[in-house]
Amino acid sequence: MFPSFNFKEYELVTSNSGAFTGVEIDLMVEILKDWQKAPGQPYTLLELRDGKTLVAFAIIQRVSGRNFTFDIRFIVLDRDYRSTSAIQHLLEMIDEELLKKIPFAVIRVEISSVKRASLGENALENAKYCQIGHIAAYYGEHDDFFFYIKAIFRNPPNFIKVSKPFEDELPAATHLEELHTQEEG
């Protein structure tokens, strides 16, 4: 479908991020080959370029058996672009792409300390991802596992904050006493 697709370009950016091993880069290439055969089934590729130069990309996968849940399988930023807003722009592109197709989505990211640092300080937190899991030294000394999640909405619901549920109502026991009094009267 994409006969001129340049796998080497993606390998180079991934290698230049400084966060991925050779085996991980090989896996990324295999996923790109699957994507090339059937874009969107289950992988979506988003890329960010500086002119013709690839500077960042993300590979997103719809979670099997879920209509609205997606995993970011790879999110890669060339180290030469860490001091730019490239990663924030790429994370916004992910939201926009998903919301074009569906009214809401849950986006999950499993990431190591090394890969998280390669995106720039607090990149995921700044994009409103919430950390819901952390395992110290999971990948090795000084390389922790982190799990992030984010919910996005095309038309966000109007959530309200309630300090105490039913605070304007009387306690349930009072209602029963009032009913009993009304029945007698």
Burial of 70 (0-12, 13-18, 19+ CB in 10 A): buried
Q: What's CA 88's distance to the chain center, in Å? A: 12
At residue 1, the pLDDT reads 42
The model's pTM is: 0.81
Q: Is residue 135 part of a domain?
A: yes
Question: For the chain, where are the alpha helices, taking DSSP H only?
Answer: 7-17, 22-37, 86-101, 113-118, 123-126, 172-184
Cβ contacts of residue 64 below 8 Å, gap of 6+? 42
At residue 175, the pLDDT reads 53
Whether the predicted pLDDT of 33 surpasses 80: yes
At residue 157, the pLDDT reads 81
Q: Is residue 185 part of a domain?
A: no
Of residues 163 and 19, the one with the higher pLDDT is 19
- The number of distinct structural domains making up the chain is 1
Question: CA-CA distance, 102 to 87, in Å (whole number)?
Answer: 23
Burial of 83 (0-12, 13-18, 19+ CB in 10 A): exposed
Q: Is residue 143 part of a domain?
A: yes
At residue 40, the pLDDT reads 87
Find the CATH number of the domain harbouring 67: 3.40.630.30
Kindly report the number of other CB atoms within 10 A of residue 94's CB atom: 22
Question: CA-CA distance, 42 to 168, in Å (whole number)?
Answer: 48
Q: For the segment 119-138, what is each residue's pLDDT rounded down to a tens digit? A: 999 999 999 999 999 999 99
Question: For 20-159, where are the alpha helices, taking DSSP H only?
Answer: 22-37, 86-101, 113-118, 123-126
And the tokens for 68? Answer: 């609205």
Q: Is residue 153 part of a domain?
A: yes
Instruction: Give the residue numbers spanning the domain of 54.
Output: 7-160
Q: Is residue 181 part of a domain?
A: no
b or e along 15-31 (b: 16 or more beta carbons within 10 Å of the residue's beta carbon)? bbbebbeeeebeebeeb
